[in-house]
């Protein structure tokens, strides 16, 4: 008699490997449908949002290749005509220069001020705690409202800042109304509104740093600058890059502050790419010629953020010691 298929009773737990008892092959139970679908359901809102953003994006690329205008009922395909017209228009290069200036100045000052103020606020004292609350107030104000506040304060007839300047003998400082000081005015408002964002990020980073390396540096007699340069800065670099990424992306697209203060004037002094696009679309009602300005801006921001994110990844690895 064959012993195949029969367990050897002398072997402990032999019955568990009784092949006769387990003649049917073991099947993995089917995964329930909802469990399979769960990852997609969780991703669904983000996916829908992405599709929701991509649809108007591709439509705008299409319209940039047409002469779509709010002034006429019909439109036709014109190929790259709007793009060539934009790239050969000197005012486009002027707008690009204004946009770059605005982004560099506002982001630069915000980063420097933000880091400096965060270092000062990174103390344990009642003053630092109180200032932490007060200094984030501007961030709670919408940029347009902040611009109107500054416009009123600097108004030559009724403004409190204008009054203060006159009392120290400065009578002709007309802020956004003067081409020489218009850029300074809008950058100042932007810095006032958005530096708290940098402060919050950097302060959060500083508060989360380990104490041990700093204590060792202190024991070894390292100066404050040495400590900052060799310990603090490398460790908070990822956060600084995040702040830089966000601020530069937003400042390149800045519209509300410039529009509310001067509408791009005086003359063309502050006609940045977003302002020019707005003018083309809503004042001149030429959507086809407006869209290339915004799409070019999108390309610039995409390239810049791609490299910044790559650099940020490397900085993060270095900061975590990998």
Partner 1 sequence: MKKRYAGKSIILLVVTALLVFLAACSSGKSANPGNSSNSPAANSPAASPSGSQTASAGSAFDWKKYSGQEIEVMLNQHPYAEAIIARLPQFEELTGIKVKYSITPEENYFDKLTTALNARNGNPDVFMTGSYQLWEYAPAEYTQELDSFLKDPSKTDSGYDVNDIFKGILDGDRWDLVPGHPVGTGSLWALPLGFETNVLVYNKRALDSIGAQPPKTFDELIEIGEKLNGWNGEGSYGVAVRGTRSWATIHPGYMTAFSMSGAKDFEVKDGKLVSKLDSPEAIEITKKFAELVKRAGPKDWTNYTWYQASSDLGAGKAAIAFDADIFAIFQGSKGASKEAGNLGTAPPPIVKEGQPVGANEWIWSIAMNKSSKKQDAAWLFMQYFTGKEHTLWGATQASVFNPIRSSVWENPDFIKRISEFPGYEATFKAVIGNTGIKFTPQPEFFNTTTEWAAALQDIVTGQSDADSRMKKLAKDINELVSRIRAQ
Binding site for partner 1 (CB under 8 A): 32, 34-35, 37-38, 41-42, 44-45, 48, 52, 70-73, 151, 154-158, 162-163, 166, 172, 174-179, 261-268, 279, 282-285
Smallest distance, Å, CB 275 to partner 1? 9
CB of 141 to partner 1, least distance (A): 19
Residues whose CB falls within 8 Å of the CB of residue 291, separated by 6 or more in sequence, listed in order:
60, 61, 63, 64, 82, 277, 281
Which tokens sit at 4? 């195949």
Residue number, 107 or 289, with CB nearest to partner 1: 289
DSSP alpha helix (H) spans, 155-265: 160-167, 179-207, 212-219, 224-227, 233-252, 256-262
Shortest separation between residue 185's beta carbon and partner 1, angstroms: 10
Sign of CA dihedral 308, 310, 314, 316: positive
The answer to whether the CB of 181 falls within 8 A of the CB of 175 is yes
Cβ proximity to partner 1: between 248 and 279 the closer is 279
Does the CA dihedral 191-194-200-206 come out positive or negative? negative
**How far apart are CB 245 and partner 1 at their closest, in Å?**
28
- For residues 131 and 177, which CB has a smaller minimum distance to partner 1 in the complex? 177
Question: In the bound complex, what is the minimum distance in angstroms from residue 72's beta carbon to partner 1?
Answer: 6
Nearer to partner 1, 161 or 319 (CB): 161
């Amino acid at each position: 008699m064959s012993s195949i298929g029969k367990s050897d009773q002398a072997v402990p737990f032999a019955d568990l490997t009784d092949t006769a008892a387990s003649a049917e092959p073991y099947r993995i139970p089917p995964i329930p449908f909802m469990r399979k679908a769960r990852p997609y359901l969780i991703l669904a809102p983000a996916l829908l949002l992405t599709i929701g953003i991509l649809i108007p994006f591709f439509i705008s690329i299409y319209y940039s290749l047409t002469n779509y205008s709010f002034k006429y009922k019909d439109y036709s395909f014109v190929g790259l005509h709007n793009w060539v017209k934009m790239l050969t228009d000197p005012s486009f290069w002027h707008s690009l220069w204004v946009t770059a200036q605005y982004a560099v100045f506002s982001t630069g000052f915000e980063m420097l001020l933000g880091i400096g103020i965060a270092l000062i606020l990174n103390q344990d004292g009642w003053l630092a705690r109180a200032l932490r609350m007060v200094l984030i107030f501007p961030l709670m104000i919408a940029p347009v409202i902040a611009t109107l506040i500054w416009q009123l304060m600097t108004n030559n007839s009724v403004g409190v800042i204008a009054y203060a300047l006159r009392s120290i003998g400065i009578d002709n400082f007309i802020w956004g109304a003067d081409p020489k000081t218009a850029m300074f005015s809008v950058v100042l408002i932007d810095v006032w509104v958005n530096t708290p964002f940098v402060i919050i990020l950097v302060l959060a980073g500083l508060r989360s740093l380990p104490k041990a390396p700093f204590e060792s540096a202190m024991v070894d007699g390292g100066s404050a600058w040495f400590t900052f340069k060799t310990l603090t800065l490398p460790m908070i670099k990822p956060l600084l890059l995040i702040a830089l990424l966000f601020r530069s992306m937003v400042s390149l697209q800045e519209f509300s502050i410039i529009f509310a203060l001067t509408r791009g004037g005086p003359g063309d002094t502050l006609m940045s790419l977003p302002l020019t696009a707005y003018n083309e679309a809503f004042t001149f009602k030429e959507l086809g010629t407006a869209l290339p300005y915004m799409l070019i801006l999108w390309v610039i921001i995409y390239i810049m953020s791609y490299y910044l994110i790559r650099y940020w990844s490397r900085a993060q690895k270095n900061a975590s010691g990998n």
